Structure 1
């Protein structure tokens, strides 16, 4: 009788340790993807990067809360000064640049993506995972990344929302491609490790 609470406590502690480790791993993954050479597009000064692929993977793989925590940890470490943003940038100064809204959207994007992915993985048959997870990643991007990115460009570049929207359009094809890549990778991970979201 006395050993059961101890076993439960030990199991909960082990789960927390795994959660913390996974959050750290995916925060590092986002940072590594940020080091890929950015592709300059448009006139806004915001390049195409692979950071958003890492954010989508965090939400799709870890679920809403751990995914948002991983993206939030990455964002916090970068704002504290670690050079882990695109172009090896870091510090609060990035908030004065045109990428500020995109960066600040990362935790919310992972949260939305993770919520939809969690529902998909609980209810849908595996054969539907890739298209539905693609929809989850695209929804996170459409509902969080792009609106906040547009607001950020409008504020930092002193342009209208309409002008910022036109600047943002160039990122949509790349984001859809990254959403598809993230969905395929996440579906493979969940098939290989079906317990990733079992407790969530």
Structure 2
């Protein structure tokens, strides 16, 4: 996937997606085992990667996290400040950046038009697996709970995150059909079998 220098329109879209992630935190959160809350904000991370692509998606997440680090209460439950990155949620927050990259790389693989099945794979691989891959080890380290026990405890998040991945897949699939300009990219023609599957 080629990288181009972002222009003013790209940066405006980055800001909009960063704001969307923040807004998805407004309903609050539901703390569970280990102090890691269930929030809707990972849905925004998935959408950022899918709509903006891997690098601009990661940029939108990074901007949000920088604002959180300087003290703005933009995480679910009104959390903000650098202390967020020293607690059990730190790995998940940093994992959002990796998650957006993975989602974008898979959804736009080969610079092809997103199709529902590749989008679904991207949402799960980036929006769930990649975030957990960073989040769980850091949570284990901070809480001093063995890694295996932390993995088991984290299973409580799986149903909600899979639901968010499904919602994000539906949103992206609909956007591709009704407003493809929202993705602001030229797609290569997809192979025949991929067009049929779409």
- Range of TM-score over shorter length: 0.7 to 0.9
Aligned positions of 1:30-109 closer than 5 A: 30-41=21-32, 43-109=33-99
Alignment RMSD: 2.0
Q: Cα gap change, 1:121/1:173 in structure 2, threshold over 3 Å: closer, same or farther?
A: farther
Cα distance per residue 1:168-194 (max 9 Å; x no partner)? 111111111000100111111122222
Aligned to 1:86, what secondary structure does the other structure show?
Answer: coil
TM-score (norm. length: structure 2): 0.85
Gapped regions of structure 1 (runs ≥ 5): 1-11
Aligned to 1:159, what secondary structure does the other structure show?
Answer: coil
Aligned residue pair count = 183
Shift of 1:104: 0.9
Residue 28 of structure 1 is matched in structure 2 by 19
Shift of 1:123: 5.6
2: CA distance, partners of 1:37 / 1:104: 20
Aligned pair partner of 1:140 in 126, 129, 134: 126
Residue 163 of structure 1 is matched in structure 2 by 149
Match status 1:19 vs 2:10: yes
1: CA distance, partners of 2:14 / 2:97: 12
Gapped regions of structure 2 (runs ≥ 5): 188-198
Shift of 1:85: 0.9
TM-score (norm. length: structure 1): 0.85
Shift of 1:130: 2.4
Question: For the pair shown, which has the larger CA radius of gyration, 1 or 2?
Answer: 1
Residue 165 of structure 2 is matched in structure 1 by 179
Residue 152 of structure 1 is matched in structure 2 by 138
More helix by share: 1
* Kept after mapping to 1: 8 A contact 2:58/2:100: yes
Runs of 4+ with >6 A deviation: none
